[in-house]
A and B are shown apart, each in its own frame.
Chain A
Amino acid sequence: MIWVSWRQHRSQAITGLALLCALAVYGLVLGLQMRTSFSNNNLATCLAHSQGVSCPNAVGAFDNSFGSLVNIGFWSVLLLLPGLIGAAVGAPLIARELELGTWRLAWSQTVPRSRWLVVKLAVAAAGLTVLGAAMTLVITWYRAPMDRLTGHFVHNAYDYEGFVFTAYILFAFGLAVLAGALLRRSIPALLAALVPWVAVRIVVEFVLRPHFMAPLTFRQTCPHGCGGGGGNNIVNVPPSTGHIGNLLIKTLNNTGTTQVTSYQPASRYWAFQSIEAGIFVALTLIVLGATVWLVHRRAA
């Protein structure tokens, strides 16, 4: 049954591998460019000593060269990427069998349909996990220079570097499998799955994530005016939260020379990743469990 699941997803696996390779090539090229620019501008030393305050031109130059490519590109259409990957694998899993009528073949062999489904889900999920982890590693490596300026708690890094990227893929996968079982058509299932996926992502990212743990506050006095608590995907120097790598939640008070912000410390990064990944994995398991129950009941 494992062979059967693998064989049915073989072409998807090849596509995933191709995607990974394309990403790796792109990441390698851009990553090397960034590293070169980084060392040419001596940004490492500057950041270590003053968190970028003493080399605003170098920071600005680096940002100009790579900022939009590395930051904005990630904080836009690519956010859908894990959703599309998961849904593309999940939607046809059951729906295609129903569309083609091959369920009559698959479910009349000497394997009860729930076992058939559980093995298929496990194999597909395992493959997606490996793909997600590999993509995460590639992106983490490639973005590393920029991360030294923005920290990786900011949205467009956090969403790709760590556990959550894989968890997003798995959740989309689960939703699409369920949608496929309900709608019985692959393409509608794929689209239908993305809607709740986006909704949950938005709620978790913007409503829940800032408060996974109680935020801390940071007060700073800046004789020459405090740095903006601006958007989290642009380099923010001097950091309004005290250190690069913290996550700015909110500017509580800004009088021009003093500024109070609430933030999450960088040290909590992995805890947050675990919590968020845990949420999505739990949701995935619920959705997949519902699917297995639904398919089992169809025999009734």
Chain B
Amino acid sequence: MFRFRLDGSSGVPPYLQIVHQVRQSLLLGYLQEGDRLPTVKDVAGDLAINPNTVVKAYRQLEHEGLAGGRPGQGTFITAASVPALRGAQGALRESLEQWLREADAAGLNDEAVTALIAVVRQDVKKEKVS
């Protein structure tokens, strides 16, 4: 069974942590096409989290096309997910790594980086709206 982790103090909502872990495992190859994700009951009982959180995470994964539910059988990793994930995120990852190196060189620590990202992100959102 695929076992999830939960970091209760990370500030990241539990359902997102599950989604992230699935994405990460796909990228690393630990989850492959056709793998069945554990049942909602198993995850809720393993992590001691609200089952609805798991449902929400699995729905998010379906929405992103990473997983699909088969009635009566469970939730499975879909075929197309891995390459698509790798492709879209590969380029982004590289430019982010570059940017982080530059920020580090400029003397920004972790908190400064996070604060800067938050502010710029807001500005970008405003751009999108207006």
| Complex A–B touching at CB under 8 A | no
